[in-house]
Structure 1
């Protein structure tokens, strides 16, 4: 059984209540079509379960098959430095069908970032390190594809739809 390494911590991007009984961690790739399909389902899960769910996203860009996954992860992390990680995360998935290198600056402007700061931050070693740390954590946790979900620290076998089903059954 694969477990999450390291556990959810202050370096993670977290949505939801600290008192949530269920923590879901997704290792995702912004260019992966399956992650794109999972995105609206995760939103539904968050809507349906509200404060019961804490959702964490970790970057797992599969650079060999998705050349824009890493720049997308960098863009999301650069947005995080202006407290807009989730806005950028959502904007990238919502525009996944038109992913290009130029898209990130356009989205940065759209979500209200200081674009000069954003471009500068995108080049920082700190940001690259965060993406690499997330990826490394995925490798250590046994991630073998995206999206991979961990529920309360344990690898969940299945996709977002299966996850939704399991949560519905366990909270009835």
Structure 2
């Protein structure tokens, strides 16, 4: 299994997405480790980090989220919270700031409404970056319901390629 890291703003849903993916992998018989930056980093992991986009602006010698992903040879999935507004600008801006390093996919969380209105933004994002869109996760009020919504919302063929496992 390949290493994977979720990067996004604070409270964008990284932890819930990560927990759901870990539960799915465990159901499939995989042994997974998840952690935050303050914990010891195992050799194989799925992680979410501090949630500060500006951490990419730190010096290259400092331990930033993306430097950790580089060291661990991890793929990065950028998660955007559509409730905050400007989700395409945030995701594209992060991609540009990171110079595309390690970025394997985009997820948008907390969506409400008709997803067809996002088509132009998704097309722009994929054309400009060459990075696939992995899924649009609807707003869910109860965390217990999230795993089922996650199963229905994510492009598991693409996620399987990133992780190197069958989902």
Q: TM-score, normalised by structure 1?
A: 0.29
Q: TM-score, normalised by structure 2?
A: 0.29
* Bigger fraction of residues in strand: 2
* Bigger fraction of residues in helix: 1
More relative contact order, 1 or 2 (CA 8 Å, 6+ apart): 1
